[in-house]
Structure 1
Amino acid sequence: MTRTWFSTELETVATFWRLIRRDGVTLGFTTHDADLWFDGVLHRASPGMVPSSIRKSAGFEADSAEVRGTLTHDAIAAADLASGRFDGAAVRIGLVDWQTRETLLLHAGTLGSINTEDGQFSAELVSRKAELQRDPIPRTSPACRAAFCGPGCNLNAAVFTREMAMTQMDVTANTVQLDETPDAGTHAGGTLRWLDGPMAGTTMGIVSVSSAGSVLLDAPLDIAIPAGARVRLREGCDHTLDSCATRFGNAVNFRGEPFLPGSDLLASYPTPSS
């Protein structure tokens, strides 16, 4: 039997919202005055985090919603928001009966833009209907449009991924030294994912590898990362046809048009010398 919510004068109902980060961490919160366990997730009591009104429509336009709150809960820190740990996280908002644990899902989507100011944060919630506005038709490009080892590229990521350990770190230069020296030619443009320490689950881009073996990263390092922290390195790809054919032997899956004339051909005109 389907429940009719708010059909009586007194209801044991609270609001919940759940975040599923891209690194696999799931966080739950509720407006109830005590922690609630349901759907296999512990939802922490956090009355300061309240979703605004949720607008839903039967059309194709994206539904709108927003969450506001204070940065008082240990699970959501300003440093984590600034470092991008919550970027693109999946969001679920709904109602829960804190006596029976019966739930009703009101909104499903992802986190959009996040703003922080004076200990307060606000996050735009993008509904799944926003995917209907995405243009599914790829545009031509001289470089490969597929993500390295992703769909379309079809290379096995395990072949180009290795686990290492950090031995030294220079926060000022934003570089790390590893117990093995990665190849500068293959790892430039790759990624480094932290497996241990305070930044575990965070992925950073590799800008370059020096001759001394220092790996320059594109995101700030946490000074609290201990020596010996494990990392997972994945090689990079410059997305050119030459690299795809000679380095990877994967030209059959190249997702680009390097020999297609560009717009400059349309603007050209004959000259006496031609």
Structure 2
Amino acid sequence: MFNAALQQHLNGEGTTVAYCWRLTAPSGLSLGFTTHDHAITLLGKTYEPGIGLDGTQAMAQSNFQAGQEEALGFLSSDSLEEEELAAGLWDNAEVEVFLVNWQEPEQHELLRRGSLGEVSRDRNVFRAEFRSLAARLSEPKGRELSHQCHADLGDTKCSVDLNDPAYARRVDVVRQEAGNRLVIEDNTDVSAGWWSFGRLTFHTGPYTNQPLHIAGHIQEQGEDKITLWSPLIMELDYPLDATITTGCDKKWGTCQGKFQNSQNFRGFPHIPGNDFILAGPDAQSAANNGGKLVG
């Protein structure tokens, strides 16, 4: 129900309202911005005034498609830095938009809730896509007929326990090599490729609690080296304490051999491929006996 006091204020001849934006990053860091020219304290949070963040016109669809809206911000804001945006620290950040009477902040109403999507930059201005909750309705649901598993490693469908020391452990990241390759220690009992497609989470530094996706894992000259999908833009002081978690390429052989979890495999490894479907029968082959091909 809409805030009665705020509604009464809006019905008056003059209003003193402003928009407040609250951003909460996956790391837990929270920032507040307002369109008002003075700071506003709302629900124990201080919202910065001026040019920190603003919103464009919002468009809502009647057929449950995601609405279109952008958040505009200036990189001169002391709280929101260009490096943090480029490093992806604010990707998928939770966004809450309030309408508030800046003279009486207890008169407020939550207008929209969603998340930040794609972020682009134009000189000293950034544009962040605002994804409403309706955007989730356009995500694929249900099972897909594919050779690969559609479950995520460690979720309820997969059931692999990622707290098992075999699949996750604390490590020291000792240095960074060219590009986005990192060298880790405390990792001598696994084979090359074990951490491929996994995640690395730092416990200190600017990437704290921000899961970083691992593209590959090799062993070279007695050292374990992982390559991240995205480069590390923020400057880091090594060594750094981190947790590394193994990954899965969603193939049947990996599920069976690496995790011994074939009973929970959510793909269809024996589904016929295009070549099989398009191939005609061979009358001379002893395999055409009507028997099953697998198992």
TM-score where L is the length of structure 1: 0.88
Q: Aligned with 2:126: secondary structure? A: strand
- Match of residue 19, structure 1, among 20, 23, 30: 23
What is the correspondence of 1:123-272 to structure 2 with a 5 Å cutoff? 123-159=128-164, 160-170=167-177, 172-181=178-187, 183=190, 184-206=192-214, 207-211=216-220, 212-218=222-228, 219-222=230-233, 224-270=235-281
Q: 1:195 to 1:50 in 2, by over 3 A?
A: same
- Match of residue 116, structure 2, among 98, 111, 115: 111
Query: Unaligned 5+ residue runs, structure 1?
Result: none
- Counting aligned pairs with the same residue, the percent is 27
Counterpart for residue 42 of structure 1 = 46
What is the correspondence of 1:46-57 to structure 2 with a 5 Å cutoff? 46-56=50-60
Q: Aligned with 1:79: secondary structure? A: helix
How much does 1:169 deviate? Answer: 2.5
**Cα distance between partner residues in 2 of 1:228 and 1:127:** 39
Amino acid at match of 2:184: L
Query: Unaligned 5+ residue runs, structure 2?
Result: 286-295
Q: 1:185 to 1:114 in 2, by over 3 A?
A: closer
How much does 1:61 deviate? Answer: 3.3
Give me the CA root mean square deviation.
2.3
How much does 1:78 deviate? Answer: 1.7
Q: 1:73 to 1:258 in 2, by over 3 A?
A: same
TM-score where L is the length of structure 2: 0.83
Residue 121, structure 1, aligned to residue 132, structure 2: no
**Cα distance between partner residues in 1 of 2:40 and 2:227:** 40
How much does 1:222 deviate? Answer: 4.6
Between 236-245 and 116-125, the greater mean CA deviation after superposition = 236-245
- Give the structure with higher Rg (CA): 2
**Cα distance between partner residues in 1 of 2:39 and 2:73:** 17
- Render the CA deviation track for 1:85-104: whole Å, top value 9, x for unaligned: 22222211121122321211
Residue 74, structure 1, aligned to residue 83, structure 2: no
**Cα distance between partner residues in 1 of 2:194 and 2:21:** 42
How much does 1:271 deviate? Answer: 5.9
How much does 1:32 deviate? Answer: 2.0
**Cα distance between partner residues in 2 of 1:220 and 1:114:** 16
Counterpart for residue 88 of structure 1 = 92
Does the 8 Å contact 1:111/1:126 carry over to 2?
yes
Q: Aligned with 1:53: secondary structure? A: coil
Q: Aligned with 1:186: secondary structure? A: coil
Amino acid at match of 2:235: A
Counterpart for residue 64 of structure 2 = 60
Q: Aligned with 1:210: secondary structure? A: strand
Does the 8 Å contact 2:33/2:52 carry over to 1?
no
Amino acid at match of 1:267: L
Amino acid at match of 1:137: G
- Render the CA deviation track for 1:112-170: whole Å, top value 9, x for unaligned: 22210111111221211122222312211212121111231122221121112222332
Question: Aligned pair count?
Answer: 273
